[in-house]
Amino acid sequence: MQLETTPKTMTGEEMIALSKKHTLFEWSAQSKVDPLPVARAKGIYFWTPEGKRFIDFNSQLMCVNIGHGDDRVIRAIQEQAAALAYASPFMATEPRARLGAKLAELAPGDIDVFFFTNGGAEANENAIKLARLTTGRHKILARYRSYHGGTAGSMTLTGDPRRWASEPGIPGVVHVLDPYHGIERGWDSAEQSLAMLTEVIELEGPQTIAAFILETVTGTNGVLVPPDGYLQGVRELCTRHGILMICDEVMAGFGRTGEWFAVDHWKIVPDILTMAKGLTSAYAQLGAVGMRRSIAEHFRDNVFYGGLTYNSHPVACAAALATIQVYQEDHLIENARKMGALMKELLADLERRHPSIGAVRSIGLFGLVELIRNRTTRQPMAPFNGTSDEMIALGKFFRQEGLYTFVRWHTFFTNPPLCITEPQLREALAIVDRGLEITDKAVAQ
């Protein structure tokens, strides 16, 4: 029997037309969206229903870290769905129990208690709730160049322009500047940035601040790898003032940077660590808030006022356990490190040869290219929160050549699945190399 949900019955055009007619695409004016129809995927590739192959050079939304179509995860999901698809979060299940214990092994320091959510935004919502309940304080510091999710609180924490339409948002959130100030102005040192933060803490009143939330390595706002000393300094400032440090690793966690968690590069232990995306590599919807023992202790006798129907969803927890096993069996964290070193070299080579490249940054397989149109003023190839003819043309070229990646403002990303091989990485960057001829033409010296 042909079920309505049986895949491969629609053409790409039909998928697009019906999706556009009856569903809303995110962060877009609907008349402007131009979705890619996708029918199947395997490893680093996906295909349209008509069979056009794409290299997934962004792991979809920086989340399919282990690669597409892994049979081990698919089987785990099928088996869990057959045994027990759902149980109330007031019950205990084996996947919940095993995943909590597994994450306690992987997470840094004494982070060994987890609250499971449906994704990253809810993880951050619950992180600030935990911080407020534990400290009895209400303010939350967050950074401007950040994204923390699309729900009310997470949207308020978000510093980038996606926040604007949701303002005024929840009370008590104070934004601070990052060490990075954009392609024209560049970086502050760790010392300068920490001095600014110290001043804000003093002016806001440290006794009013529950937490500082930050992406350990900032994702969509530029793959911003913090200068050495910055995170250690933030840790020290937070400890000194009793402010909880919340690291949002929804994008940076699970091998993306070449370590299980990005904080591992700087050997710091935040008080709260949020995660999603790579936790299941997006095979199922799951986020988590990890907390240190001291925070978990607070809720031994105090109520944790938080809950979700799908908290600790058995199928999602089973998907996460199988995904973690894949990272381990296939040595994907090591591969991210090794291929990351190669990607860094190849990006540096592109930078030397293409005048439109203003900066390249990467850590592990988390990478980004910033494009400029003037080598003296370093004017970006597209304005802040905008686009330009050249960026649109570059995006079209990638698509035509079968390279899928995220093109945002004057930047594009290089975030392949962690299972990528050297020939695949070279093939993808060869397409990038050719595409950059388009933007090079726009450069004034």
Give how many residues touch ligand PLP by CB under 6 A: 15
Task: Give min distance, CB of 33 to ligand PLP, in A.
Answer: 18
Tell me how far apart the alpha carbons of residues 430 and 161 are, in angstroms, rounded to a whole number.
Answer: 32
Question: Is residue 368 within the footprint of ligand PLP (CB under 6 A)?
Answer: no
Signed CA dihedral, 342, 343, 344, 345: sign only: positive
DSSP string, 69-116: --HHHHHHHHHHHHH-S---TTS--HHHHHHHHHHHHHSSTTEEEEEE
What's the first-to-final CA gap in the chain, in angstroms? 64
In the complex with ligand PLP, the residue whose CB is nearer, 119 or 227, is 119
Tell me how far apart the alpha carbons of residues 224 and 377 are, in angstroms, rounded to a whole number.
Answer: 21
Interior angle at CA 280, CA 279 and CA 286, nearest 5: 80
Task: Give min distance, CB of 385 to ligand PLP, in A.
Answer: 17
Tell me how far apart the alpha carbons of residues 95 and 106 are, in angstroms, rounded to a whole number.
Answer: 16
Residue 225 is given by DSSP the state P
Q: Residue 244 is inside which H or E element, if any?
A: strand 244-248
> What is the contact mask toward ligand PLP in residues 290 to 329, using x (rule: CB under 6 A)?
----------------------------------------
Residues paired with residue 139 on neighbouring β-strands, in sequence order:
209
Question: Is residue 276 within the footprint of ligand PLP (CB under 6 A)?
Answer: yes
In the complex with ligand PLP, the residue whose CB is nearer, 287 or 417, is 287
Signed CA dihedral, 422, 328, 116, 46: sign only: positive
Question: Is residue 149 within the footprint of ligand PLP (CB under 6 A)?
Answer: yes
Considering only the stretches 17-25, 166-174, 213-221, 419-427, report the one whose residues sit in contact with ligand PLP under the rule CB under 6 A. Answer: 213-221
Tell me how far apart the alpha carbons of residues 305 and 412 are, in angstroms, rounded to a whole number.
Answer: 40
Task: Rule CB under 6 A: choose which of 37, 108, 120, 367 binds ligand PLP.
Answer: 120
Question: Is residue 125 within the footprint of ligand PLP (CB under 6 A)?
Answer: no
Question: Is residue 219 within the footprint of ligand PLP (CB under 6 A)?
Answer: yes
Output the six-digit token pair for 428.
């993808």
In the complex with ligand PLP, the residue whose CB is nearer, 276 or 391, is 276
Q: Which residue type, as a one-letter code, is found at position 355?
A: P
> Among 238, 292, 233, which Cα is nearest to 104's?
292
Task: Rule CB under 6 A: choose which of 114, 115, 147, 212 binds ligand PLP.
Answer: 147
Residues of this chain, 245-274, that bind ligand PLP according to CB under 6 A: 248, 250-251
Per DSSP, the three-state class of 42 is: strand
Task: Give min distance, CB of 248 to ligand PLP, in A.
Answer: 5
In the complex with ligand PLP, the residue whose CB is nearer, 96 or 148, is 148
Considering only the stretches 30-38, 244-252, 369-377, 423-431, report the one whose residues sit in contact with ligand PLP under the rule CB under 6 A. Answer: 244-252
In the complex with ligand PLP, the residue whose CB is nearer, 277 or 354, is 277
Question: Is residue 215 within the footprint of ligand PLP (CB under 6 A)?
Answer: yes
Q: Which residue type, as a one-letter code, is found at position 350?
A: L
| Number of residue whose CB is nearest ligand PLP | 120
Residue 272 is given by DSSP the state E
In the complex with ligand PLP, the residue whose CB is nearer, 337 or 408, is 408
In the complex with ligand PLP, the residue whose CB is nearer, 135 or 218, is 218
Task: Rule CB under 6 A: choose which of 148, 175, 256, 313 binds ligand PLP.
Answer: 148
Tell me how far apart the alpha carbons of residues 355 and 374 are, in angstroms, rounded to a whole number.
Answer: 9
In the complex with ligand PLP, the residue whose CB is nearer, 122 or 390, is 122
Tell me how far apart the alpha carbons of residues 312 and 318 are, in angstroms, rounded to a whole number.
Answer: 10
Residue 398 is given by DSSP the state H
At which residue do the structure tokens 């600790």 appear? 312
In the complex with ligand PLP, the residue whose CB is nearer, 150 or 206, is 150
CB count within 10 Å of CB 20 equals: 15
In the complex with ligand PLP, the residue whose CB is nearer, 142 or 382, is 142
- List contacts with ligand PLP (CB under 6 A): 119-121, 124, 147-149, 215, 219-220, 248, 250-251, 276, 287
